[in-house]
Structure formats: C-alpha cells, structure tokens
A and B are shown apart, each in its own frame.
Chain A
Amino acid sequence: MAGFREARGDLQLESVTKTFGDFTAVDDIDLHVPRGSFFALLGPSGCGKTTTLRMVAGLEQPTAGRVLIGDTDLTGSRPYERPVNTVFQSYALFPHLTIRDNVAFGPKRRKDKDAVKSAADALELVQMTQFAGRKPAQLSGGQQQRVALARALVNHPEVLLLDEPLGALDLKLRREMQVELKRIQTEVGLTFIHVTHDQEEAMTMADTVAVMNRGHIEQLGAPEELYDLPRTRFVANFLGQANTGVGTIKDVDGDHLVADVLGTPVKILKSRSQVHEGEVLFGVRPEKVTVSRKQPEGVGNDVKGTVRDVSFLGVATSYLVDMPSGTTWSCYEQNLDVEPLDLRPGDEVWLTWNPGHAFGVPVDAG
C-alpha cells in the first residue's frame, strides 16, 4: 500500500530525545537492538520507556534524533507506514469487530488476499481458534491479551512492540504468558521489544535488558550481567535486592580496593567497582551473604549485626539483620544443613561475603 516502507535489520535509535513542554521524557538515548532478539526496556513508571516505544511505533515523533530499521530512516513517518506493530497495554482490541476480524484487520489494510487465512493461522499460534467468532468483550483479560498478540504478529512486523502486555493479568496467568511469549518469539524469530516495570519479567524473558531511569538508559546488558554487576546505584536497587553501605576507599590491596565503612575494612574487587577513589557505595546480593553465630576466620569481609526478623520459607530462610550503620540487610540462606541456625530476633550474628561478589557504584547516582 501507499506509504508503507519495507525495512529489514536491526532497530537503531540515534540520539533520540522527546520533550513534552518543559518535561524531557526521553533524553538523548542511543539504542541498538539486533534483529531477532528479545529486548526489554525496564524502568519505573515515568522513566520514558513507553515514550521510547511509541516513538518506535510512530505514535510519537522524536523532538531530536533518528529512528532506523536497518538502513531505512523511519523518523517522521506515520505509524501505518512502519513495519512495526504494537501490543497495547490495555489490548486496544476493536470492540465492534469479532476476534477473527480484529486479527484480519492488519492484513486487510495491506490488501493481503489471504487475510482470513493468515488471521486463522495467527489465532492458531496463540491457541485462540475456538474464540474466532466472539467479540472482545466476551473474552477474559488473558484471552484478549492473546488476541492482541495475534493481531500484531499476523503482520510479521520487523519489530514487535509490547507495552506492559502482562500488566493487567494475575500472577499465575502472567507466568504462563511469560513462557508463552518467549515460545512464540523463538518460533517466529521477530525482534520483540518488551516494555515493563517488572524486573523479574524482564529478566526471565529478555536476552538483553535496558534499565531506564529519568529518560536515560542507566545500563544495558544480559540479565545475569545486570544483576551480578550493576553499574549505578539505581540499577543495583531496581534490579533485585541489594544490601548496600557507604564507605571511603582508603587503600589498594592487590586486585582489591579496601574501603573503610565505619571503621570496618571492606574489600571490593577493583574490576567490580565503578569508582576507585573517594566515596563508594558497595553492595552485596542477599543470597551472597553468609550468616553465622561466630566470627568466621580468614574471609575478610565480616560485619556484626543484630537479627531483626527471621522468615522460614522452606527451601530457604530469609533474615533481616540490623547493621551498625543503621541500615537493614537482607540475607537469604538455603536450608542445606541438618542442624538449623536457630536464630531469634535480637541474636547477634556475623555476616560475611566473598569480596568477589561485592560491587561498587558511585554514591550519588540514582
């Protein structure tokens, strides 16, 4: 059809900025999403992730910068000219059309002679064939979600955009759909860009996660990488839990930095710290911390604290420990030993961790 642009290849955002009046929703971001990858834009509400998505869809135009797929510059083109489809947060199914006609809408606009056949195949893919004759209002949220997905997938877009598609579903259904979405993405091999504020969802589904905050991309990488080695305070806190403390770097000991935290020396691997002098925020993930009654020997990083709360979770026990610095740390111990630690609130404990598991980020950021 007139105006439609074929484009193949990786999605690229080049120095894209979007302002609404005085408010900068997206501030000069660069993004490269390889063709066929499952990419997640993760961030709190208002961080600019949905605006970024809408600029890729063409529903918003960037104030500055370019949006490209492969070598084709799509900046300024209308949504219906782009080989991009969206699964909207509220599904946005056409209420006056049957499920079949909803899914066939895209192919019909593109004058696809096999529109009805394509729609049937897409409904098959999301296992909604038996509902083809119904209206959207007659379906549950989860079913509408599948239809919305089929309606976008049927067009074989170069990039499929998912705007918090699982946000309205209950936990069990959300888990199911996460697996389902991942299966479909592998099956069709399209580029998926998934916008979410749910860090677990982003980590389970995506190959690459970009963490956004205040219009910027804070960090981009594989989920394991982001969790293991956050580069900013925001990422450390947003992605999973982090036990943190502020210290001053006093010394270098081989590969390690030694920070002074309220008189206790704490070691961080040089390669795992973003700062090498002055103030540092060090952090350890809860499952990397070991809780013991007596001070262990030779490990190095150890701090004495007071147990505030113990929750037995079956496979693991979770402890909240008040630290001398005034913060509360969370520790997650697998129940491997026959003899339990049998800690009670008020007991004094030693927390230790391997310096190789700690990370250091700038104090101020985020």
Chain B
Amino acid sequence: MSALAPVSQVAGDPAVHPAPPAPETQKRSWTAYLLLLPGVLWLGVFFILPLVQLASVSLQSRYPGFPGYYYRDVNFDNYVAALTDYAPHFARSFLYAGLATFLAFVIAYPLAYAMAFKAGRWRNLMMICVIAPFFTSFILRTFAWSQILADEGWVVGVLSFLNLLPGGSIINTPVAVVAGLTYNFLPFMVLPIYASLERADPRVIEAGGDLYANGFTTFRTVTLPMSMPGVLAGTLLTFIPAAGDFVNMELLGPQRGKMVGNVINDQFLAIPGGYPVAAALSFTLMAAILAMVFLYVRRFGTEELV
C-alpha cells in the first residue's frame, strides 16, 4: 500500500493532472448514458416495476367473503403463512436444487476438462452436443424425460431386471425430479467451467509438473483452483434457476411433496385469492437465494483471480 501512496498524491495534484476540457467530458458522458438507456428502460419496465408491484401485492389483504379480491395494505401475515405453511417446500427446493447442482458439477467438470484439454479436433462437435438441447424447448425435453423414466421405459426395465429398483418406479419420485433438474441445467454448468479451463495458460499447468507436482497434485493445486471462477459461475447458474423451478416437479415429480415453485404457480393460477401469498413466497424465495448466494460467494469468491 505504501508504494501506492505517492502515486495517489500525484493523481490528486491538479498541476500534474489538469482536468480535461469540459465539453469533451460532457460529450463522452452523454454517449455513455445514451448507450445505457435501452438497458435501463428494459430493466425499469420489465424488472423494477413488476418487482415493486409484486412487493405491494405481497402485503395486501383479502376481502373477507370475496375470494379473489384484495385491498392495498401492509399485511405481513402473507409472509408468516409463506414461511410456516410452506417451509417444507422451501427445504425440498433447496435440497433438490443442491443435489442437482452437485450432480451437474460431478458430470460437467470431467466433460469440460476433456473438451478443454483432450478433445483436439472433436472439441467443436462436443460443444455442439452440449448446446444442442437448447434447440428444443425446455418443456418438451422435460416431457421426453417423463417418457424415458416411465414405468414402461427401458431404464426402469433394465434396473428392475437387475433388481436395483426396489420401489419399481422412478417417475413421480424425487429421484426423477433431481435427474430432470440435473439434465436441464447441465449446459449452464459445463459452459462456464469449460470457458475458465480453456482460458487457463497451459504453461501454468506445465509449471506445476516442472515444480515437482505429479498429475493429480497439479490438478488439485493448480488446475482446479484456476477454474474456480467457472465452477462458481456454473454452480450459481445451476442452483438459482433450479431452486425456483416448477416444471421438472410438475412433469416428473410426485403428487405430494412439491417444491416452492409449484406452490407459487398454484397460488397464482389455481387458488382464488392466492396472489398475496404467492407474491410473499416469491419474495421469500428471492431473499433466501440472495442470502445463500451472498454467503457462497463470500466463502468461495475469487474476484482476485484473473
């Protein structure tokens, strides 16, 4: 820090660094604001306003005796209901999303590693295979999984034949939900890990070997830490949408023991007068995820990495 002190003194001295001419600054800053405008407008109309609206809805009260009608209020009962009645749903959401994130990581890392270092001319083909599922719709792919995991499907057939499936069924169980989540968010795990591995200087990894680290030690002490920004991004990109997802539970999961996304969906669309609780649930979910992400990034944050 002491080395920086003289520099900041110089920078603060107007005689050394005279302010640039005013018109120039004016012009530049206007350009910057103009460039920001579309994004700011978009976020304002489609993110900030709905969020404010949702916050206000989450505090409304119902008209007694008129299901579906509510009035503006500051009513925290909706939050109490969200947290007491639906605590198990939150727990399930985070558990399934956490499991899916872990499984996706276990599958994605070797895949990304192979793509970055071993694939050679197959690299582009592998990349296409990772991205290809995006060419069909999310719902359709999840629906396909309900076929794959169906009781009549070959997966259940093979597992039953090998006596590995005591329950006799995969579809409509949490296992199917976690499998669906893992599958659907896998590319979001693969791509950032691949990007960070691909960017790593091969000489740095060679330096590990040159400094007496064998293959595994080099991986543990050099390659893996260098890819942590990608791992961090991948786990966030998988966990956040997975925790709020309801499609996989809807199409692959059991009738009872839903995730919080399903509850929000039902409260908004199926239950008359469910809007305030749905809004409160949404906010609680958002706050919980934000808190978890904050702690996670604080713990594993790698902003100092290049």
Does A332 touch B at the CB level, under 8 Å? no
Distance in Å from the Cβ of A152 to the closest Cβ of chain B?
8
Residue count of chain B within 8 Å CB distance of chain A: 23
Q: Which residue of A lies closest to B212 (CB)?
A: A109
Does B10 touch A at the CB level, under 8 Å? no
Does B299 touch A at the CB level, under 8 Å? no
Does B169 touch A at the CB level, under 8 Å? no
Q: Which residue of B lies closest to A111 (CB)?
A: B212
Chain A contact patch, size range? 20 to 34
Number of A-B contacts (CB under 8 A): 75
Which chain A positions have C-beta within 8 A of B201?
90, 92
Interface readout for A58-95 with B: 1 if CB under 8 Å, 0 if not? 11000000000000000000111000111011101111
Contact A3 B210, CB 8 Å, known A95-B305, A95-B306, A96-B302: no
| Cα distance A309–B180 in the bound complex, in angstroms | 78
Does B209 touch A at the CB level, under 8 Å? yes
| Cα distance A122–B208 in the bound complex, in angstroms | 18
Residue contact A109 to B226, C-beta cutoff 8 Å:
no
Contact A80 B209, CB 8 Å, known A3-B214, A92-B201, A135-B304: yes
Which chain B positions have C-beta within 8 A of A137?
304, 306
One of B37-45, B50-58, B217-225 contacting the partner? B217-225
Residue contact A155 to B212, C-beta cutoff 8 Å:
yes
Residue contact B211 to A90, C-beta cutoff 8 Å:
no
Residue contact B212 to A4, C-beta cutoff 8 Å:
yes
Does A282 touch B at the CB level, under 8 Å? no
Which chain A positions have C-beta within 8 A of B17?
none
Which chain A positions have C-beta within 8 A of B203?
88-90, 92
Which chain B positions have C-beta within 8 A of A106?
211-212
Give A114-164 interface residues, CB cut-off 8 Å to B.
130, 135, 137, 151-152, 155
Which chain B positions have C-beta within 8 A of A105?
208, 211, 213, 221
Which chain B positions have C-beta within 8 A of A85?
210-211
Give B216-236 interface residues, CB cut-off 8 Å to A.
217, 221-222, 225-226, 228
Which chain B positions have C-beta within 8 A of A57?
210
Which chain A positions have C-beta within 8 A of B306?
95, 137
Contact A110 B207, CB 8 Å, known A94-B222, A96-B226, A96-B305: no
Which chain B positions have C-beta within 8 A of A1?
212
Residue contact B204 to A93, C-beta cutoff 8 Å:
yes
Distance in Å from the Cβ of B303 to the closest Cβ of chain A?
11
| Cα distance A92–B204 in the bound complex, in angstroms | 4
| Cα distance A97–B305 in the bound complex, in angstroms | 9
Residue among B208, B211, B213, B302 with most chain A CB within 10 A: B211
Residue contact A79 to B305, C-beta cutoff 8 Å:
no
Residue contact B207 to A109, C-beta cutoff 8 Å:
no
CB contact between B214 and one of A78, A89, A95 (< 8 Å): that residue: A78
CB contact between A78 and one of B204, B209, B302, B305 (< 8 Å): that residue: B209
Residue contact B214 to A80, C-beta cutoff 8 Å:
yes
Which chain A positions have C-beta within 8 A of B3?
130
Residue contact B213 to A109, C-beta cutoff 8 Å:
yes
Which chain A positions have C-beta within 8 A of B226?
94-96
Which chain B positions have C-beta within 8 A of A97?
225
Residue contact B210 to A109, C-beta cutoff 8 Å:
no
Q: Which residue of A lies closest to B214 (CB)?
A: A80
Q: Which residue of A lies closest to B227 (CB)?
A: A96
Which chain A positions have C-beta within 8 A of B302?
96
| Cα distance A110–B214 in the bound complex, in angstroms | 11
Give B272-306 interface residues, CB cut-off 8 Å to A.
302, 304-306
| Cα distance A66–B210 in the bound complex, in angstroms | 19
Does B73 touch A at the CB level, under 8 Å? no
Does B206 touch A at the CB level, under 8 Å? yes
| Cα distance A97–B226 in the bound complex, in angstroms | 10
Residue contact A80 to B222, C-beta cutoff 8 Å:
no
Q: Which residue of B lies closest to A138 (CB)?
A: B304
Distance in Å from the Cβ of B19 to the closest Cβ of chain A?
28
| Cα distance A1–B216 in the bound complex, in angstroms | 14
Chain A residues within CB distance 8 Å of chain B: 1, 3-4, 57-59, 78-80, 84-86, 88-90, 92-97, 105-106, 109-110, 130, 135, 137, 151-152, 155
Q: What are 15 A-B residue pairs whose CB atoms fall within 8 Å in the complex? A: A58-B210, A80-B211, A86-B207, A92-B204, A94-B204, A94-B207, A94-B226, A96-B228, A96-B305, A105-B208, A106-B212, A109-B213, A135-B304, A137-B304, A137-B306
Question: Can you name 20 extra interface pairs (CB under 8 A) apart from A80-B209, A96-B225?
Answer: A57-B210, A58-B209, A58-B210, A59-B206, A59-B209, A80-B211, A86-B206, A86-B210, A90-B201, A92-B201, A94-B204, A94-B226, A95-B306, A105-B208, A106-B211, A106-B212, A109-B217, A110-B212, A130-B3, A155-B212
When A and B form their complex, which 3 residue pairs have the shortest distance between CB atoms, in order from nearest? A109-B212, A92-B203, A106-B211
